[in-house]
Amino acid sequence: MFNADISRTAFPANFIWGVATSAFQIEGAADADGKGPSIWDDFCRVPGVIADASDGRQACEHYQRWADDLDLVASLGVDAYRFSISWPRVQALGSGAFNEAGFAFYERLVDGMLARGLKPFLTLNHWDLPSALQAKGGWEDRDTVQCFVDYACEVARRLGDRVASICTHNEPWVIAVLGHESGIFAPGIKSRAVAIQVAHHLFLSHGLSITAMRAQGCKADMGIVLNLSPIEPATDSDADREAVRQADGNDLRWYVEALLCGEYPAEFWTAMGTDVPTVLPGDMQAMRVPMDFLGINYYTRVKASAGAPYDVKSGGLEVTDMGWEVYPQGITNLLLRLHRDYAANGLPPLIITENGAAFADTVSADGQVHDEPRLRYLQDHFAAVHEAMRQGVQVDGYFVWSLLDNFEWASGYEKRFGIVHVDYATQQRTLKQSALWYRDFLRGQPS
Ligand code: FCB
């Protein structure tokens, strides 16, 4: 469907190519050097919630192996590396004393990136909230907002002069809905009202922290990362079209319009009934802070249905190991839609902060990992992003999720998203075919 011969030169010269990870998924060292526990450390101990009953205590041992891992990143020839800070590593309790040893790790990491010519793209919250804050109510509690602002300012004070970009939160929808409504992610709460209040506090802490970091003089680009999908009807029925409108209102518009327009879509607010969040005067203005970028994580499209949930496998479509349809056209559609509907609301330049696919990879007898489906997935999505740019959308960068196979949350280590294979018994890293292809793509060599 797309131009499979897409080359780097088709993109602007200053387009940022990168790879992404997050702290909890790769670092391990769960209580090394003064790190406090996070809600994901706790959640992993709940029987039955992680598919393979694993946890993040060891993960990819990135805390020890960071220098080799950065060498690997640099060897790909990317421009940038997206990583996250583990809040409880740098502030065990999420308030009060900061942990020097924890900050020393991220100082080494950021300096290590700069030494290798990599632009650091920092995320402040990739879900691992300090357990001590959860004990006081976590993101449902308004006091967590100020704790986050204090933490963000300290990170900006120490690292803000060296990082290219600071993202406040990764995927507020996942934190709110999967963490607090369906409860399949940490902290495992099941209440829609709580989820909506959590989202509100995430938006508020996003806006307040950006304002505070900028007031301190931090010059890094600042924004947030949303997981967004185009939502389409499972069938042509009126009921399914209505289901699309609802899902789009609750999952896309609620998030985008809070941040860009400073208001929740009125119709969906009304429909929320008694679940609406407590909003204090000034909140909506505070969360609508001008952003330097909006990060988009895209994996697949969503099919909404008024009846039984749509079964993606029924249509004979290609799916990944997560059961997610491979649908590159979806990223073009999503980017065009954001541009069409929100350019007038000050939509900032977009960055694809995550895109990638899980497949059940193994190391073959020849020592290679033949992950052609992932290679094709990336190639087609590069072309699909390019198509949106050709039609006028400003996209400034693209990060592959993920550098390494890692702890895939409730799926544990069973799902492999890396372009680099990790043998968890030996911690050996092996570049998959997709990584070699990405490297060649970045070198401008034909595939
Ligand atoms: C996103 C997360 C990331 C990873 C991918 C597969 O929702 O941000 O950590 O788990 O999905």
Distance 186 CA to ligand 1 centre (A): 14
In order of 28, 87, 168, 352, 415, the CA distances from 254 in angstroms are 34, 27, 18, 20, 30
Q: What does the pLDDT average to over 61-73?
A: 99
Distance 407 CA to ligand 1 centre (A): 10
Confirm whether 42 is domain-assigned. yes
Is the CB of residue 403 less than 8 Å from the CB of residue 418? yes
Confirm whether 225 is domain-assigned. yes
By residue range, what is the domain housing residue 218?
A: 8-443
Predicted pLDDT of residue 70 = 99
In order of 16, 244, 246, 289, the CA distances from 299 in angstroms are 19, 18, 21, 27
Predicted pLDDT of residue 389 = 98
What sign does the dihedral 130-135-138-144 (CA atoms) show?
A: negative
Q: Determine the residue of 171, 302, 413 to mutate for testing ligand 1's pocket, defined as the one with the most ligand atoms within 8 A of the Cβ atom.
A: 171
Confirm whether 27 is domain-assigned. yes
Question: Does residue 447 carry a pLDDT above 60?
Answer: no
Ligand 1 atom at shortest distance from the alpha carbon of 356? 6
- Whether omega for the bond prior to residue 233 falls within 30 degrees of 0, making it cis, is no
Q: How far apart are the first and last CA of the chain?
A: 17
In order of 188, 263, 271, 370, 409, the CA distances from 179 in angstroms are 5, 23, 22, 35, 11
The secondary structure of 114-134 as a DSSP string is HHTTPEEEEEEESS--BHHHH
Predicted pLDDT of residue 314 = 80
Name the average pLDDT for the chain: 97
Q: Determine the residue of 297, 320, 411 to mutate for testing ligand 1's pocket, defined as the one with the most ligand atoms within 8 A of the Cβ atom.
A: 297
Q: How confident is the model at residue 248 (pLDDT cuts 50, 70, 90)?
A: very high
Question: Does residue 120 carry a pLDDT above 60?
Answer: yes
Confirm whether 3 is domain-assigned. no
Could you report the per-residue pLDDT of 374-416, keeping only the tens digit for each? 999 999 999 999 999 999 999 999 999 999 999 999 999 999 9
Helix ranges restricted to H, 234-317: 238-248, 254-261, 266-271, 283-287
Could you report the per-residue pLDDT of 1-23, keeping only the tens digit for each? 556 679 999 999 999 999 999 99
Predicted pLDDT of residue 228 = 98
For 26-118, strand residue ranges (E) read 80-84
Residue 265, domain CATH = 3.20.20.80
Confirm whether 239 is domain-assigned. yes
Distance 237 CA to ligand 1 centre (A): 32
Confirm whether 345 is domain-assigned. yes
Predicted pLDDT of residue 14 = 98
Confirm whether 83 is domain-assigned. yes
Out of 171, 181, 257, 408, which one is annotated catalytic? 171
Spatial separation of the C-alpha atoms in residues 114 and 107, rounded to whole Å: 11
In terms of Cα–Cα distance, which of 235, 226, 88, 108 is closest to 159?
A: 108
Question: Does residue 333 carry a pLDDT above 70?
Answer: yes
Is the CB of residue 98 less than 8 Å from the CB of residue 36? no
Is the CB of residue 77 less than 8 Å from the CB of residue 439? yes
Q: Please tell me the residue having the least CA distance from ligand 1 atom 10.
A: 408
| 80-84 and 350-354 beta bridge pairing | unpaired
Dig out the tokens for 358 from the structure. 């899980």
Q: pTM here?
A: 0.98
Distance 283 CA to ligand 1 centre (A): 28
For the chain, the domain total comes to 1
Residue 424, judged by CB atoms within 10 A of its CB (0-12, 13-18, 19+), counts as: middle
Spatial separation of the C-alpha atoms in residues 303 and 248, rounded to whole Å: 11
Q: Determine the residue of 127, 400, 409 to mutate for testing ligand 1's pocket, defined as the one with the most ligand atoms within 8 A of the Cβ atom.
A: 409
Question: Does residue 282 carry a pLDDT above 90?
Answer: yes
Q: What does the pLDDT average to over 117-122?
A: 99
Q: Please tell me the residue having the least CA distance from ligand 1 atom 4.
A: 408
Residue 156 has phi, psi (to 5 degrees) of -65, -35
Q: What does the pLDDT average to over 41-58?
A: 98
Out of 140, 232, 325, 354, which one is annotated catalytic? 354
What is residue 175's DSSP assignment? I
What is residue 235's DSSP assignment? S
Please report, as a single letter, which amino acid is at residue 57. R
Distance 274 CA to ligand 1 centre (A): 31
Ligand 1 atom at shortest distance from the alpha carbon of 415? 6
Confirm whether 1 is domain-assigned. no
Of 17-21, 50-54, 160-164, 304-308, the one with minimum mean pLDDT is 304-308
Spatial separation of the C-alpha atoms in residues 318 and 177, rounded to whole Å: 27
Question: Does residue 225 carry a pLDDT above 70?
Answer: yes
User: Cα angle vertex 289, ends 192, 300, to 5°?
Assistant: 50
Burial 299-320 (b: 16+ CB within 10 A, else e): bbbbbbbbeeebebeeeeeebb
Q: How confident is the model at residue 315 (pLDDT cuts 50, 70, 90)?
A: confident
Q: What does the pLDDT average to over 217-225?
A: 99
Q: Determine the residue of 225, 255, 354 to mutate for testing ligand 1's pocket, defined as the one with the most ligand atoms within 8 A of the Cβ atom.
A: 354
Please report, as a single letter, which amino acid is at residue 98. F
Please report, as a single letter, which amino acid is at residue 179. G
Spatial separation of the C-alpha atoms in residues 284 and 307, rounded to whole Å: 35
Predicted pLDDT of residue 446 = 61
Give the residues surrounding ligand 1 with Cβ less than 6 Å away. Answer: 22, 25, 170-171, 174, 227, 297, 354, 401, 408-409, 417
Find residue 194's DSSP bridge partners: none
Spatial separation of the C-alpha atoms in residues 442 and 8, rounded to whole Å: 6
Distance 174 CA to ligand 1 centre (A): 9
- Share above pLDDT 70 across residues of the chain, in percent, rounded to a whole number: 99
Concerning whether 181 is annotated as a catalytic residue, the answer is no
Distance 353 CA to ligand 1 centre (A): 10
Predicted pLDDT of residue 26 = 99
Concerning whether 171 is annotated as a catalytic residue, the answer is yes
